[in-house]
Amino acid sequence: MNSESGLVIRFDHRWHSGREYQLTVDLDLPSTGITGVFGVSGSGKTTLLRAVAGLLPLAKAQIYFGDRCWQHDGELLKAEQRRIGYVFQEASLFPHLDVAANLRYASQRAVQPLANEKQLDEKRILEILGLEHFLDSKPGALSGGEQQRVAIARALFSNPELLLLDEPMASLDFQRKAEILPYLLKMKAELNIPMLYVSHSADELASLADWLVVLDGGRVVANGPVAETFSTISKAAHGDSDLAVLLECRVVEHEKEWGLQKVEFAGGHLLVRENGQQVGETIRVRVQARDVSVSLIQPHQTSILNSMPAQISGLKTSQDGSMVLITAIVSGNHGQTSLLANITRRSVDSLSLEVGKKVFLQLKSAAILN
């Protein structure tokens, strides 16, 4: 694989399933890290993955991975000839085989890499996914989260150069999702394999994705680094009422007496709860627009810990005219960041808010995601 080129996907596909659907994509995606794909039901997420995997042959499409041509219009490389690992919503393990035999089945059918390409270390995969002690177990004896970890390991045992994950945690409850997420983060950190990760969960993608594609109405409405495109997720799913921004932060100080830590981002700093990170570590913090308030003067004697000066750069009134989405720029020693606040139109009028006005933002809540 050419390290300078990634996954190229271009096609326009129409299909019927009770009604007519269409998916039009023109994407150039990175060759490293996790690319998240978000969209509501029917937006085309699984269709996109199936096309990349070669499970949905299209009459006209261009799909390239590095310097390999997987499809160019009528020329199609079969699914079994592509070095792709596919993880579905359900684990779909062979119930009569133990974990070791399920993994061996995938290993025996792997497409062999070229001489200059790396073979994934099967022992290391087991260690990363915490499966060393389950090899003799049958799938029926495992929890849903454990079964899905085996399914991910099985996909990796096929020695793929690209891993496709189609909502791998959709069938798990909250506890099982929380159980499996650290394994996915560890896999991302230690295995040098690009992934295409489909999900309708904003939290999953905020925690895992490096790059983000957002589908809405059969079209790509966002495609870029996750911190720059994350706010589009909420808009595509819920409208302006649930918008959020994702901040890439670095831990700079601990306030152990209060169970807090100070983190720094491009526009300033925040106090957030202590979460076990060391000074210098990077974390992601999500700030929802509904948790940000606006003041004309610097707040004093308030329980809200995070307040910062900002300048309004945009105002957008909701369709029903009751709410206004404010975009405001906060500036710090390391650059600028845009934050969002969703407040009533009455508040906007009473404060005479307009583009260019200097204000103070109060962040009532900020969620650590990793």
Is residue 80 very low, low, confident or very high in pLDDT (cuts 50, 70, 90)? confident
Q: Across residues 157-166, what is the average pLDDT?
A: 93
Is residue 70 very low, low, confident or very high in pLDDT (cuts 50, 70, 90)? very high
Quote the pTM value: 0.82
**Identity (one letter) of the amino acid at 278?**
Q
Asked whether the predicted pLDDT for residue 370 surpasses 80, the reply is: no
* Ordered domains of the chain (ranges, CATH): 7-238 (3.40.50.300), 244-368 (2.40.50.100)
Asked whether the predicted pLDDT for residue 247 surpasses 80, the reply is: yes
* Non-local CB neighbours of 93 within 8 Å, separated by 6+ positions: 99, 102, 139, 147, 150, 151, 154
Asked whether the predicted pLDDT for residue 353 surpasses 80, the reply is: yes
Is residue 2 very low, low, confident or very high in pLDDT (cuts 50, 70, 90)? very low
* Contact criterion met (CB below 8 Å) for 36 and 199: yes
| Dihedral over alpha carbons 175, 179, 180, 181 (to 10 degrees) | 90
Buried b / exposed e along 185-200 (16+ C-beta atoms within 10 A): eebbeebebbbbbbbb
What sign for the dihedral angle of Cα 124, 53, 62, 78? positive
What pLDDT does 1 receive?
Answer: 37
pLDDT in tens, 6-16: 899 999 998 88
Is residue 335 very low, low, confident or very high in pLDDT (cuts 50, 70, 90)? confident
What pLDDT does 301 receive?
Answer: 87
What pLDDT does 345 receive?
Answer: 94
Asked whether the predicted pLDDT for residue 237 surpasses 80, the reply is: no
Asked whether the predicted pLDDT for residue 86 surpasses 50, the reply is: yes
* Contact criterion met (CB below 8 Å) for 236 and 38: yes
Residue 366's CB: how many other CB atoms inside 10 A?
A: 20
As a whole number of angstroms, the distance between CA 78 and CA 208 comes to: 30
What pLDDT does 227 receive?
Answer: 87
Tokens 């070229």 map to which residue? 114
What pLDDT does 257 receive?
Answer: 92
pLDDT in tens, 171-203: 888 888 888 888 998 999 898 899 999 998 888
- Specify burial of residue 138 (Cβ count, 10 A radius: 0-12, 13-18, 19+): middle
Tokens 């006209």 map to which residue? 60
Asked whether the predicted pLDDT for residue 292 surpasses 80, the reply is: yes
Asked whether the predicted pLDDT for residue 81 surpasses 60, the reply is: yes
Asked whether the predicted pLDDT for residue 116 surpasses 70, the reply is: no
Most confident of 87-91, 188-192, 214-218, 356-360: 356-360
**Identity (one letter) of the amino acid at 248?**
E
Is residue 369 very low, low, confident or very high in pLDDT (cuts 50, 70, 90)? confident
* Non-local CB neighbours of 250 within 8 Å, separated by 6+ positions: 263, 264, 265, 280, 281, 282, 283
What pLDDT does 3 receive?
Answer: 38
Residue 158's CB: how many other CB atoms inside 10 A?
A: 20
Least confident of 31-40, 74-83, 145-154, 335-344: 74-83
What pLDDT does 232 receive?
Answer: 83
Asked whether the predicted pLDDT for residue 112 surpasses 80, the reply is: no
Q: Is 153 strand, coil or helix?
A: helix
Q: Across residues 223-233, what is the average pLDDT?
A: 88
What pLDDT does 5 receive?
Answer: 63
